Amino acid sequence: MTAESAPSEARRSRGDRQREAILNAVHELLREKPFSELSVSTISDRAGVARSGFYFYFDSKYSVLAQMLAEAMQELEELTHYFAPRGADESTAAFAKRMVGSAALVYSHNDPVMSACNAARSTDAEIREILDQQMGSVIDQIVKIVEDEAKAGTAHPISDDVPTLVRTLAATTGATLSGDTAFVGANRDISRAVEVLERLWLYSLWGGGSLSGG
């Protein structure tokens, strides 16, 4: 590193720390209160940055949330091997486990962000739009996999309307993994729900099969 580049590197490093502090602050605050009660001032205070510093990195509290969700979706793509189609050596049950299991890990790693978003989507139009944009690309990739398999005769979805079927399955999965008590009960036993979700995807798209094998 040259003497001339040292100051710019230091500024970049400080900027990265401030940006990360803002993301961490929102993550912490969402454990304490709903997103609707967060303000830029509250986030800035928790992050230890000035309001002007906040606006240098983000346009609003919603842009912070969008970034956090984008990172969660990136993690999902990596865990699912970028939604790779089912290979000849991967059973339908293994594919269902790959998709649902990866989603469960992402929701677990990114809680309470995912839970807060799902809780607010019915009342906050901006959050709903962010979620729909993020999930839209995921749904499109899964739809293509299923439609290609259906054409090849290796998938047997319960409906010819594959996009709507996959969207319904994805919405059910999101609500369940977010811990919505309507889906997981008062004890919020996510592990039991994950197995049910795997079976739901398996039977809905391939007509059944054993989760332990074929």
- pLDDT of res. 209: 57
Average pLDDT over residues 175-197: 92
Least confident of 6-15, 24-33, 105-114: 6-15
- pLDDT of res. 52: 95
Q: DSSP string of the chain?
A: --TTHHHHHHHHHHHHHHHHHHHHHHHHHTTTS-GGG--HHHHHHHHT--HHHHHHH-SSHHHHHHHHHHHHHHHHHHHTTTTPPPPTTS-HHHHHHHHHHHHHHHHHHTTTHHHHHHHHTTT-HHHHHHHHHHHHHHHHHHHHHHHHHHHHTS---S-S-HHHHHHHHHHHHHHHHTT-HHHHTTTT-HHHHHHHHHHHHHHHHHS---TT--
Report the domain count for the chain: 2
User: Does 70 lie in the same domain as 45?
Assistant: no
For residue 93, pLDDT over 90 is answered with: yes
User: Does 161 lie in the same domain as 79?
Assistant: yes
User: Does 13 lie in the same domain as 47?
Assistant: yes
pLDDT in tens, 133-148: 999 999 999 999 999 9
Model confidence at 211, in pLDDT bands (50, 70, 90)? low
Average pLDDT over residues 107-131: 94
Q: Is residue 211 one of the residues assigned to a domain?
A: no
User: Does 38 lie in the same domain as 72?
Assistant: no
- pLDDT of res. 71: 95
User: Does 136 lie in the same domain as 77?
Assistant: yes
What domain range is 125 assigned to? 62-206
Model confidence at 188, in pLDDT bands (50, 70, 90)? confident
For residue 8, pLDDT over 70 is answered with: no
User: Does 153 lie in the same domain as 83?
Assistant: yes
Average pLDDT over residues 163-183: 95
